[in-house]
A and B are shown apart, each in its own frame.
Chain A
Amino acid sequence: MLIVRDSQRRDLQAANDADIAMIADGYRDKGVREAVEVVRQRLAAPPIEVAGVRAPSSYLLIQGSGGERLAGNLGPIPVRTGVFDVRVATGGDRAHTVDVRGRGVLLGPGVYVFAGRDWRVIAETRSRILYAFAWVAAGAAVIAALAGWFLGSRFMQRVDTISRTCEGIIAGRLSERIALRGRGDEWDRLAGVINEMLNRIATLMENLRQVSSDVAHDLRSPLTRLRNRLEVARSESTTAAEYAAAVARALEDTDQLLAMFSALLRISQIESGTRARAFSTVSLTELAQRLFEMYRPVAEDHRQELRGDIRPDVSIRGDPELLMQMASNLVENAIRHTPSGSVIRLCVGTEAGAAIVTVSDNGGGIPSEERGKVTRRFYRASTSRSAAGHGLGLALVSAICDLHHAVLELADAAPGLIVNVRFAREQRG
């Protein structure tokens, strides 16, 4: 608004100066009479509207040397040159005055001219601009509201679709998914991501349900066994030694149950994936050497032979403690489930740039139809039921492999079992 006002002020002043120039031209050419004529002509111009009333477009005055008015639409004023304000009464009423700003000039000896304009014009223009702005803004608001309502209703439709699906899921209809419109727009992308999330949750839920029913089922038998033993001890033991033996057995059973629980807990911790944050560079070479030194005497005590084929400088990103447990479980499985005289191999190497850990034996192996099931919780292959264990070892291995994005393969070593853990190729740099 300031800019508008400034430029208007300049315009008004320029108009005043133009009036004065015309009058001065007339005076210079033909004297006072002509100058008076020019003033009269200028004042014949149609009036303009200012603040709701008709008013002259300009205020002019030409005075003679006696200070008398020769022509003009305002009374005689004291001779003063330069730009100044003159208060002019309108309609002969003192109460109605306007401030006229203009310039006073002496044309010749005693001939004085003043040309001015009503400053309220500026305020007038300003309010007109504001008025126009208000209209434009109101129009824009109406258009925006209409467009918003239109877009919003489409938006709400999509949101409704998603929230209906979510409400269905909250109500227990877990298989519900958000229908895609097939347009490939951002809504479809969002719906796709939400559906994927729901699938993942469903898998986890199914997993959880499976685990709880496994736990309920598989903990029954050791608990029943424990209960039986205690019952027998109560009814049949008579001496302190017999009681002590019964208590010792009961403790063993309890320990096995506790081991089972901690293994389950560990699996679920690993599956939750939070350990992935603690990954560091792990030398599989060093880890396997440690493991080899650790289990060679154990295998010897079982009259088995542990051989190592460990290549240098094989390393991956991972969790050292979990990787140790994984490899240790595989070696222990081989030691526990093969007869004496067996040869067990622990190999670490690379295949096409990807690290691979292999534990193989020449023992009884696992029948092909059971190989897919041994990584399940509590599953115990028919060939290994007699051996001690809780059926969670390979489930743990499998969970650790998943965490490291490694593939666990069980195959026939003819004779024996070969277990490969294939890690993903390391992305360097």
Chain B
Amino acid sequence: MKVLLLEDDQELATSLIGRFGDIGYGVDHFSDGCEALAAALQRDYGALVIDRMVPGLDGLSLMKELRRQARTTPAIYLTTMAGIDDRVEGLEAGGDDYLVKPFEFVELLARVRAITRRSEEAATRLVAGTLEMDLVQRTVRREGQPIELVPQEFRLLEYLMRNANRTVTRKMLLENVWGIHFDPHTNVVESHVSRLRAHLNEDFAADPIQTVRGVGYRLLVAS
């Protein structure tokens, strides 16, 4: 996949280009907003990673312009602007996700992967390996056997299934399952995942939810 990176911090950009390169992503790096906009309009990128405050054209205006020209390339902001209003503003301008600096690369990668697979969301039924989820009836089956889940466990599993075989971070789960954008001081995610596991694995030997140490979780399914 080809990623457009708009970032005027040279050191951070170099590090990101290296990390993306390690996993086989090509990166076009720009430190000027106008140049980045021209490139984004010309080439077909898999994802845009946009710093909000850059010379030339700021990231927010760039997003607005891209969306105005009907470019739907998935985009994530990478910014030091941590205010709630800043995030809302960013998403309203047409970004798909918002990551505040400082961040860990795994967090960025997980989010980039999540936004690049957003398109199939209209489905009423999700299937991941032997797991089946009916989004209308709110029922879950594993190998055909019904599994009882409370609403929060259901939403947690839904998010994991939508991102099957991809790492999702604790932060992503907090934002997408519980809608909270701050860091809780307790193990909210861990507590719920352990209950979800208990329900899912009651009659099965294998645990499909893999813990990614220090990062988050991954739902492993045979493809």
CB distance from A15 to the nearest CB of B (A): 83
Please state if A335 and B102 are interface contacts (CB–CB under 8 Å): no
**Could you say which of B84, B151, B178, B185 contacts A393, with CB atoms under 8 Å apart?**
B185
The answer on a CB contact under 8 Å between B85 and A274 is yes
Q: How many A residues, CB 8 Å from partner? A: 30
* In the complex, per-residue mask of A70-110: 1 if CB is within 8 Å of any chain B CB, else 0: 00000000000000000000000000000000000000000
Of the 9-residue stretches A133-141, A201-209, A290-298, which lies at the interface with chain B?
A290-298
Query: What residues of chain A lie closer than 8 Å to B185, measured between beta carbons?
Result: 332, 336, 388-389, 393
Structural contact, A321 and B84, CB atoms closer than 8 A: yes
Q: Is the CB of B178 within 8 A of A290?
A: yes
Asked if A293 and B152 sit within 8 Å, CB to CB, the answer is: yes
Q: In the complex, A319→B182 CA distance in Å?
A: 14
How far apart sit A274 and B192, CA to CA, in the bound complex (Å)?
A: 35
CA A322 – CA B180 in complex, angstroms? 10
Cβ B85 vs Cβ A275 within 8 A: yes
Given A295-B186, A336-B186, A321:B191 Cβ within 8 A:
no
Known A-B contacts A258-B102, A269-B83, A300-B191; A293 and B151 likewise in contact (beta carbons under 8 Å): yes
A176 to chain B, nearest CB (A): 35
Closest to A274 in B: B85
B152 pairs with A275, CB closer than 8 A = no
Q: In the assembly, what is the distance between CA of A269 and CA of B83, in Å?
A: 7
CA distance A324 to B185 in the complex (A): 14
Question: Which residues of the partner chain A approach B102 to less than 8 Å between Cβ atoms?
Answer: 258
CA–CA, A235 to B183, complex, Å?
34
Distance in Å: Cβ of A111 to nearest Cβ of chain B: 98
CB closest chain-A residue, reference B151: A293
Contact of B180 among A301, A328, A336 (CB under 8 A): A328
Chain B's interface size range is: 20 to 34
- Does A262 reach chain B (CB closer than 8 Å)? yes
Q: Which residues of chain B come closer than 8 Å to A298, judged between CB atoms?
A: 186-188, 191
Assuming the contacts A275-B84, A293-B152, asked whether A321 and B192 have C-beta atoms less than 8 A apart, the reply is no
Would you call A265 an interface residue if the criterion is a C-beta within 8 Å of the partner chain's C-beta atoms? yes
Set of chain B residues within 8 Å of A258, measured between Cβ atoms: 102
A230-265: which have CB < 8 Å to B? 258-259, 262, 265
In the complex, chain B residues whose CB is within 8 Å of the CB of A321: 84, 180-181
Which A residues, 371 to 415, have Cβ-Cβ distances below 8 Å to chain B? Answer: 388-389, 393
Residue of B nearest to A277 (CB): B85
Tell me the minimal C-beta distance from A274 to chain B in angstroms.
7
How close is B53's CB to chain A, nearest CB, in angstroms?
A: 16
Cβ of B184 within 8 Å of any chain A Cβ, yes or no, is yes
Chain B, residue nearest A322 (CB): B84
Give chain A residues whose Cβ lies under 8 Å from the Cβ of B182: 266, 325, 328
Confirm or deny: B82 has a beta carbon within 8 angstroms of a beta carbon on chain A. Answer: yes
Q: In the complex, are the beta carbons of B184 and A332 less than 8 A apart?
A: yes
Q: Are B183 and A294 in contact (CB under 8 A)?
A: no
- Judge whether B85 and A294 touch: CB under 8 Å: no
A53 at the interface (CB under 8 A from B): no
Interface residues of A (CB under 8 A from B): 258-259, 262, 265-266, 269, 274-275, 278, 290, 293-295, 297-298, 300-302, 319, 321-322, 324-325, 328, 332, 335-336, 388-389, 393
The 5 closest A-B pairs by CB, nearest first: A297-B191, A298-B191, A298-B186, A301-B191, A325-B182
- Show 18 residue pairs from A and B whose CB-CB distance is below 8 angstroms, ordered by the A residue: A262-B82, A265-B83, A269-B83, A275-B84, A275-B85, A278-B84, A294-B178, A297-B194, A297-B195, A301-B187, A321-B84, A322-B84, A324-B179, A324-B180, A328-B180, A335-B186, A336-B186, A393-B185
